[in-house]
A and B are shown apart, each in its own frame.
Chain A
Amino acid sequence: MRSFTYERARTPAEAASAVATMRGAKFLAGGTNLLDLMKLEIEAPSHLVDVQDLDFGEIADTDDGGIRIGAMVSNTMLSAHPRVRRDYAVLTRAIQAGASGQLRNKATTAGNLLQRTRCSYFYDTNMPCNKRRPGDGCSAIGGSSRQLGVIGISDSCIATYPGDMAVAMRVLDAVVETVTPDGSTRSIPIADFHRLWGDTPQEETVLERGELITAVTLPRPRGGKHFYHKVRDRRSYAFALVSVAAVIQDDQTGQVAFGGVAPKPWRVPEAEELLPQGAAAVVSRAFAEARPTDQNKFKIPLAERTLAGIIADARS
């Protein structure tokens, strides 16, 4: 690990301006993703701004009937919160489908949103990777791509966003709240938060340098039945090959997003409108522009079968 200096920020403004002004500075929350990558020198910050003492550890009701989740709320606390279990069960289900008990105790809401891809070439510093070193080339294209993306990918990078929590937040229309280094605040709909790779796979979200996530808000609950089905190589403690988050109403309408397939939670409103017609209609529309490899084309029928299972459960 490269050496670095460390500070604990006392205010959001102090944290944001420290990261904005110091070259090579990064925020540190739980550390479960950042430290992992620092050990491999894939990340090599020269300064860490630990945000654990900031007042972002609460879940509160909002005036419009939703909730506001502080950026430092742990994954365990969020998934166990009584209102989340009752009104946003898809979120509890998604969080509990990810990582392990130990990791969920440490992982934070903001850190989880910002976790980096699990492409094995991204982790293998002997192999070219455009995300690690822009311009070096992509080892996954023409290489081993079974785990990787089938849609929204580019000629520079075919990796996925690997997280579970954000897929549930996408069907719930979450909004990411931030404070920027100049002190102003922004509300970023989760649909716009993660970027498609394009020519710049090293840029993964719309956050600017030093922009600090303060909270994630969820709008008032929309009722319905909530599902998060995750298909993976082991029954526990593995990243998704495909996951499906869905909220389905009695009349079969609803919201659906797919994980493990794209650079961001994949939700297509025109596809979602076809929910009453069944899984095949939704998936063929949602994945109409898919560009899978031979190794990962199985993900599309797998997504269809996973959604079909959810629709059957919702009817029963």
Chain B
Amino acid sequence: MPLRMKINGEARELELDTRTTLLDALREHLQLTGTKKGCDHGQCGACTVIVNGERINSCLSLAVQHEGDEITTIEGLGTPGDLHPMQAAFVKHDGYQCGYCTPGQICSAVSVLKEIRNGVPSHVTDDLAGDIGLSNIELRERMSGNICRCGAYSNIAEAMTEVAEA
């Protein structure tokens, strides 16, 4: 099927089998290999990308569901010479070891701060009527869909706190 998407600000056209996931379209057809394939079942979060401003698991989405959508991958957030503040904070706080989950972690982390700004509550938000804080436990709960086998969680939360308070 023919498909048009805007990826990292650039209009792209593809011809894909209907079975192609958004993840495989990015990695195998557009050579945007920053987005990683971990479990391929929505459990690990390594494939997290931002679609029309919201983070999703690109492995559990067919590319054809995204006709006309705007997709931001880790490549679109920042570049080696011009890091996104969240990327810079991950480097500063050692928010990774092997780095495999990092693109997904960063796409998620950027989105989490936006979700908090937009007033989306979480499982650990005490008062549904009040403002949502940026406590460590809030950040950790919201990042639970991104697994890190190296266990860099506490440093990731510190990186996020720094960006949130900047």
Q: Is the CB of A100 within 8 A of B144?
A: yes
Fill in one digit per residue for A100-121: 1 if any B CB lies within 8 Å of its CB, else 0.
Answer: 1111011000000000000000
Count contacts on A: residues with CB < 8 A to the other chain: 35
CB distance from A63 to the nearest CB of B (A): 26
Q: Is the CB of B42 within 8 A of A237?
A: no
- Decide if A52 is an interface residue (CB 8 Å cutoff): yes
With contacts A32-B60, A80-B121 known, is A105 near B54, CB below 8 A?
Answer: yes
- Decide if A156 is an interface residue (CB 8 Å cutoff): no
- Decide if A86 is an interface residue (CB 8 Å cutoff): yes
Q: Is the CB of A92 within 8 A of B121?
A: yes
Complex: A103 Cα to B108 Cα, angstroms: 12
Q: Which A residues lie within 8 Å of B45 (CB)?
A: 100, 102
From A3-11, A216-224, A302-310, give the one contacting chain B: A3-11
- Decide if B142 is an interface residue (CB 8 Å cutoff): yes
Identify whether the interface residues of B are mostly helix, strand, loop, or mixed.
Answer: loop
Complex: A86 Cα to B128 Cα, angstroms: 7
- Decide if A28 is an interface residue (CB 8 Å cutoff): yes
From B13-21, B29-37, B92-100, give the one contacting chain A: B13-21
Q: Is the CB of B120 within 8 A of A28?
A: no
Q: Is the CB of A79 within 8 A of B121?
A: yes
Complex: A236 Cα to B122 Cα, angstroms: 11
Q: Is the CB of B61 within 8 A of A35?
A: yes
Contact of A103 among B19, B115, B145 (CB under 8 A): B145
Contact of B60 among A3, A6, A35, A97 (CB under 8 A): A35
Complex: A30 Cα to B56 Cα, angstroms: 10
CB distance from A234 to the nearest CB of B (A): 8
Q: Is the CB of A80 within 8 A of B1?
A: no
Q: Is the CB of A237 within 8 A of B121?
A: no
- Decide if A60 is an interface residue (CB 8 Å cutoff): no
- Decide if A31 is an interface residue (CB 8 Å cutoff): yes
Q: Which B residues lie within 8 Å of A105 (CB)?
A: 54-56
- Decide if B57 is an interface residue (CB 8 Å cutoff): yes
Complex: A103 Cα to B118 Cα, angstroms: 18
Q: Which B residues lie within 8 Å of A48 (CB)?
A: 18, 62
Which residues of chain A (80-102) have a CB below 8 Å from chain B? Answer: 80, 85-86, 89, 92-93, 96-97, 99-102
With contacts A105-B56, A106-B57 known, is A35 near B21, CB below 8 A?
Answer: yes
CB distance from B29 to the nearest CB of A (A): 16
Which residues of chain B (51-81) have a CB below 8 Å from chain A? Answer: 54-57, 60-62, 64-65, 67
Q: Is the CB of A101 within 8 A of B115?
A: yes
CB distance from A85 to the nearest CB of B (A): 4
- Decide if A50 is an interface residue (CB 8 Å cutoff): yes
Complex: A102 Cα to B44 Cα, angstroms: 11
Complex: A37 Cα to B42 Cα, angstroms: 11
Residue of B48, B118, B128, B146 contacting most chain A CB atoms (<10 Å): B128
CB distance from A143 to the nearest CB of B (A): 22
- Decide if B162 is an interface residue (CB 8 Å cutoff): no
Q: Which A residues lie within 8 Å of B54 (CB)?
A: 76, 105
Contact of B145 among A35, A39, A52, A102 (CB under 8 A): A102
Chain A residue with the shortest CB-CB distance to B20: A1
Q: Is the CB of A106 within 8 A of B112?
A: no
Q: Which B residues lie within 8 Å of A96 (CB)?
A: 121-123, 125
- Decide if B28 is an interface residue (CB 8 Å cutoff): no
- Decide if B111 is an interface residue (CB 8 Å cutoff): yes
Chain A residue with the shortest CB-CB distance to B147: A237
- Decide if A14 is an interface residue (CB 8 Å cutoff): no
Complex: A102 Cα to B55 Cα, angstroms: 5
Contact of B108 among A32, A93, A101 (CB under 8 A): A101
Chain A residues packing against B (C-beta within 8 Å): 1, 3-6, 8, 28, 30-32, 35-36, 39, 48, 50, 52, 76, 79-80, 85-86, 89, 92-93, 96-97, 99-103, 105-106, 236-237
